[in-house]
Amino acid sequence: MRMKGFVGPLGDDLPSIFPIVAAVILFISTVLYANSLVNQKNAELELRQAVLGLSYIATEKGLLADIKAFDSLCEDKLTKYAVSNQLNFIVSVKKFCQKVEFYSETSSATKQYFSPYYLETFSNDEWEASQGHTWSYCTNQMKDKKLFLMKTQKYLSSPLFPVPTEAIVMVYPVAVRCAVEGIPTNGMGLLYVIGWH
């Protein structure tokens, strides 16, 4: 005798299988999403730790006496540390031997050369270099600094370096030698450490 409305042993259970499958898919996708978030945060923390290590090496002495000492630090320690941590970096130093003016006297616009990404150096002109312009910088992006700047300026109409959005930027005060007449003491410098993968 045939039962009315009976589809079969699997047919009657089919409607109840859909919510179970949906619940399993939702659970697995939630676990995968949480895992990807944890991996992303771990990568950010590893990058921050690597940049902190680079910062520690760059600010070890707290005084940058001259460009030769800075270049030596760059070649001997900073570049080697970055290679061992698979880190791209730029470390730049800006000197302030006079008062610090973050805004122009004639306009309210922030001075562009205060940016950590502004890499055009004025080390040949000691007065310009002591007014907040980039005094020197170190990078593992290219050995030849002039070629590096030319490559950067090819894509941009200014000496601002295009750094990826996930870059970590840290700023530290350091003492710098001021050769400006009438200033016998050290001046203030800002050491920018920028790192990214």
Q: pLDDT tens across 137-151, in order?
A: 888 876 555 555 555
Residue 53 has pLDDT above 90, yes or no: yes
- pLDDT score for 41: 94
DSSP E strands, the chain: 63-64, 88-96, 131-139, 168-176, 187-196
Q: pLDDT tens across 68-117, in order?
A: 888 888 888 999 999 899 898 989 888 877 766 666 565 544 566 667 77
- Cβ pair 134, 63 in contact under 8 A: no
- pLDDT score for 116: 72
Dihedral of the CA atoms 168, 173, 175, 177 (nearest 10)? 70
How would you classify the pairing of strands 168-176 and 88-96?
unpaired
Dist CA 65 CA 69 (whole Å): 7
- Report the alpha-carbon angle 31-34-37, nearest 5: 150
More confident residue, 26 or 106: 26
Q: What 3-state DSSP class applies to 41?
A: helix
- pLDDT score for 23: 92
